[in-house]
Amino acid sequence: MEYDVVIGIEIHCELKTKSKMFSAGLTSFGKQANTCVNEIDLGHPGTLPTVNKEAVKKALQACIALHLEIDSLVKFDRKNYYYSDLPKGFQITQQFHPLGRHGYITIHVDGQSKRIGINRIHMEEDTAKQYHLDEVTLIDYNRAGTPLIEIVSEPDMTSGKEAAAYVEALRQTLYYLGVSDVKMEEGSLRCDVNVSLKPKGSSVFGVKNEIKNLNSISNVEKAIDYEIKRQKDILDAGGVIEQATRRYDETTKTTVLMRKKEGSVDYKFFPEPNILPIQLDPKWIEEITNHLGELPNARKERFMKDYGLSEYDAMLLIDNKELGEYYQEVMKTCKNPKLAANWVIGDLQAILSKNNLTIQTTCIPSVSLAKLVNMIEDKTISGKQAKEVFELMVQGKDPEVIVKEKGMKQVSDEASILAMINEVLDENQQSITDYKNGKDRAIGFLVGQVMKKSKGQANPAMTNALVLQEIAKR
């Protein structure tokens, strides 16, 4: 039987603020346990929450960038549940009045664009980190109270690939906005996925399974693809899908049952009485809207328009925000955008990964790479020589100094090249005969001999053309 796949995704994203959502406690990652907390984070009696302005600003930035309608009257609600990761016994969230509703993000899969609806974005607080040992549980409240936004998609995705593209597009947008460091491996972006199947064309949704805490984009795709197959096999065999929460097991590459859902938990939501409704200033929202900064898609379009790059190259350059910024710096003094893009995307990235560096820690200043590309462009050095220079640039040397020290300048003087070519041709009569008998490869050999004679400094393109010209004369 054929099925329609229905996928919806909930993302929890930690906001990059100094203090917590409702307290002046320090936000942190990897600090000593329970050293970034205060009385509010620990739920001590008599403490009252206050709302972090920067967290609201960052949540607004996300809403605006993702085209959500904003509710400027901010209200919070209490989600009551009794568990040790929340010392107050409840979580402050926005159940009834999310900050934003009805937005979207555009994803690109297999050359097709698709709009994925975003149902809502709301603000809330993170819970404590727990370590379950054999007998007991250890709790570190450092994370408790960290500002979060929850981004709930519409069930608009139909494959693991689309879901992965959605998470990646969101991740990239949130990173460009600077609202979060979106590190899935550190848990600052966490992903829960709902998957269900229904008979093709049916308007009734099937029973969904939720896969919790996917920690990488590739696992999002793998977990969904597995889950689709699992549900399909059950349905094809005449079975029924039970609503459940599952997790993805990386070793077996399967989804594993965590718990069956027996009715929904009653969290007894009610409006948070300790935080009065807050009216946001429309001028403030307008100011935030006008200063969002450039988003990935806009940057891609600009790179294609201003630098004449292909969509593929532009995509590679926006994938990593800092790499794109580095490229822009290179382009301030560089004459050939395409060549510069090739160097940034190819050689630079390769050498960074080889030396365990990042674009932020690279020892090759953008101005040096621009100089190198310019030297290739104006034929001072050949592409082959450039690779040699580049290897030395990693040690922090200026390319112009390297070229000078190595005496590497490319010979583009026609008379000198011609002299060398004629010497080579005189010495290799057999190759000329071979070429005339249809062995094109002989040209490569002859050019190679000229390059050797010039100690690699002859302009290769020029040498190639002149060798052909001189052979014809013989």
Partner 1 sequence: MDNKDALYFKKLAKQLMFELNDQEANEMVQEFEEFNHLLTHLASIDTTGVKEMIYPFEEPVTYLREDELIHVITQQEALSNVSNSQQGHFVVPKVVK
Q: Does 98 bind partner 1 (CB under 8 A)?
A: no
**Which residue of 51, 207, 235, 394 would you call a contact of partner 1, by CB under 8 A?**
51
| SS3 category, 119 | strand
> Are 193 and 214 in contact, with CB atoms under 8 Å apart?
yes
Q: Does 281 bind partner 1 (CB under 8 A)?
A: yes
Q: Does 285 bind partner 1 (CB under 8 A)?
A: no
Nearest by Cα to 466 from 409, 415, 410, 408: 415
**Which residue of 199, 277, 383, 448 would you call a contact of partner 1, by CB under 8 A?**
277
Cα gap 432→274, rounded to integer Å? 92
Q: Does 50 bind partner 1 (CB under 8 A)?
A: yes
**Which residue of 1, 2, 30, 32 would you call a contact of partner 1, by CB under 8 A?**
32
Residue 341: CA atoms inside 13 Å, Cβ hemisphere, count? 20
Stretch that binds partner 1, among 32-40, 111-119, 365-373, 447-455 (CB under 8 A): 32-40
**CB 52 to partner 1: min, Å:** 5
Q: Does 52 bind partner 1 (CB under 8 A)?
A: yes
Neighbours of 17 (CB within 10 A): 19
Q: Does 83 bind partner 1 (CB under 8 A)?
A: yes
> Are 450 and 424 in contact, with CB atoms under 8 Å apart?
yes
Q: Does 202 bind partner 1 (CB under 8 A)?
A: no
Residue ranges of E strands in 172-281: 189-199, 209-214, 244-249, 254-260, 270-271, 278-279
At residue 140, φ and ψ (nearest 5 deg) are -115, 115
Q: Does 36 bind partner 1 (CB under 8 A)?
A: yes
Q: Does 91 bind partner 1 (CB under 8 A)?
A: no
> Are 367 and 327 in contact, with CB atoms under 8 Å apart?
no
Helices 53-65, 160-177: axis angle to 10 degrees equals 130
Cα gap 110→131, rounded to integer Å? 41
Stretch that binds partner 1, among 5-13, 37-45, 173-181, 333-341 (CB under 8 A): 37-45
**Which residue of 178, 199, 239, 271 would you call a contact of partner 1, by CB under 8 A?**
271
**Which residue of 11, 37, 411, 467 would you call a contact of partner 1, by CB under 8 A?**
37
Binding site for partner 1 (CB under 8 A): 17-19, 23-26, 32-39, 42, 50-56, 73, 82-85, 131-141, 270-271, 273, 276-281
